[in-house]
Amino acid sequence: MNIDLTGRTALVTGSTSGIGYATAKSLAAAGAAVVVNGRDKRRVDDAVDKIREETGSTTTTGVALDLATAGGAADLVAGLADVDVLVNNLGIFQAVPVFEIPDHEWTRFFEVNVLSGVRLARHYAPRMAQRGWGRVIFVSSESAVQIPTEMVHYGMTKTAQIAVSRGMAQELAGTGVTVNTVLPGPTLTEGVRDFIADRVGGDVPFEEAERRFMEVERPTSLLKRLIRPEEIGHLITYVSSDLSSATTGAALRVDGGVASTLIP
């Protein structure tokens, strides 16, 4: 398959590292004019430079804004009125016993993981529909369908993303705009590396810590390893393309088989 996104503009939120960065790089390699996002201007600039160097892209740019806030979203759309592909990747996670999560943390996780994407889709998706083509992708998680006991508030937001995505897809039926969620499994990002070190022990070599984590805490994984960010980025790039035109309202698993369910 030849995925060609030349002439398309793609915004990837939270894309200075991890899954977001890998997605931005993959989209740029496919020809899209990618907008990288993060809160720190130096990290955004570094990510843009790296993507340009690694892909040869001359159209990758960056915007340093906190898109977890209504003000940040408003500033973004004021300067970037339209995109063809919106990848809502911005998100946070943290292990906390469920009965110890205070109200403000439930609210914070919902604001960052759900409302950040809702605000942007609310602006960009109707404008995509007016043009007759667009892609909105929410980066959810297998935690949406297999709630992690140590991160119930995180799992709640991931489930909410599936519901929001499906509802938006229904609203945009027949417009040429598709809305989907992608459900990664445990993925080797900087944050997950630190998370595993905290769970297993910082004095354990990472390769052994990864093995123990997968064996003990994610035993249903069929890969028996952490997914690499580029493996997520490849699926998102496909969903962003013309080749995925019949896929909408879907929750697409790229979880290494860790969710022991048939659907989604």
Concerning whether 124 is annotated as a catalytic residue, the answer is no
3-state secondary structure of 198: helix
Asked if 165 and 179 touch (Cβ cutoff 8 Å), the reply is yes
Residues 6+ apart with CB under 8 A from 109: 92, 153, 154, 156, 157
Interior CA angle at 22 toward 115 and 86, to 5°?
A: 35
Tokens of 61: 């740019």
Q: Which of 208, 223, 232 is nearest to 17 (CA)?
A: 232
Cα–Cα distance, 185 to 182 (Å, whole number): 10
Q: Please return the burial class of 43, using the count of CB atoms within 10 Å of its CB with bins 0-12, 13-18 and 19+.
A: middle
Catalytic residue among 21, 124, 154, 238: 154
DSSP alpha helices (H): ranges in 138-226? Answer: 152-171, 190-200, 206-216
The amino acid at 137: I
Rounded to a whole number of angstroms, the CA Rg of the chain reads 18
3-state secondary structure of 53: helix
Sheet holding 9-12, edge to edge: 61-64, 33-38, 9-12, 85-88, 134-139, 177-184, 251-254
DSSP label of 132: T
**How many other C-beta atoms can be found within 10 angstroms of the C-beta atom of residue 222?**
10
- Which residues are tagged catalytic? 154
